[in-house]
Copies of this chain bind each other. A is one copy, B any other.
Amino acid sequence: MNSNVIVRAPLHVQVAERLRLLIDSGGLAPGTRLNENELCQNMGVSRTPLREAIRSLATEGLVELQPNRGAIVSVVSQEDVTEILPIMASLEGLGGRLAAVHMRTDQIKQIRQIHNQMVTHYQNNEVTEYFETNRLIHDLITEGSGNQTLVDTINSLSAKVRRARFSAQMTRESWAKVVSEHEEMVTALEARDPDRLEAILIQHVETKRTTILGSLQRSE
């Protein structure tokens, strides 16, 4: 029996992944109509798997289905962000609470290392790298909860907000605040203090909320 079977992912899954990336990167802006023929030619697949992929993205909320008029990349309104962030706060809080108990010490040490890197990026004003490490820390903590469903749920919500957050330009002071909150986070994690970590994470998302909404407001 060969257990090293190579299972090529079904086309519609690959297509969905590709589309997700396109939407996430901004290659497909919110509101854009997804023209099936066009996309088919671009990706070199037929309409069937493409349509199946679109249906998946629709249930994920990344695109919106308009009967007999196809799908558009869903637009993330200020209301959406206002709805999603409190949910993420709760869930990230829960994740932290669980992580504080479940994570192994070496995993926590790793987070401290990445956190230090992040601080360096902050000091050097390296925005991209900063965001990357920032997100990695959050992901690691969430994953540290050991609750895969929680990870999935957070990711699903996060994906929607990310595009909005993308446009969110941080002011220097809000950036400083976020970094100091991160410092507290890691400290609470090292102390394995569920309540404190949860509280900080909730506060952290609240900070993010005001940052994003402030930015959205300025840009209107």
Contact = CB atoms under 8 A, between A and B. Distances in A.
21 contacts: A10-B65, A10-B67, A10-B68, A12-B55, A13-B65, A48-B48, A52-B52, A52-B55, A55-B55, A55-B56, A56-B56, A56-B59, A59-B59, A59-B60, A83-B150, A86-B94, A86-B98, A86-B147, A87-B150, A90-B93, A90-B94
Interface in A50-101: 51-53, 55-56, 58-60, 65, 67-68, 80, 83-84, 86-87, 90-91, 93-94, 98
A157 interface: yes
A1 interface: no
Contacts of A84: 149
B87 A153 contact: yes
A148 interface: yes
A209 to B, nearest CB: 13
B149 A83 contact: yes
Interface residues on A, range: 20 to 34
Contacts of A149: 80, 83-84, 87, 157
Contacts of A59: 56, 59-60
Contacts of A68: 10
Contact of A58 (B8, B9, B56, B93): B56
Nearest to A10: B67
Contacts of A67: 7-10
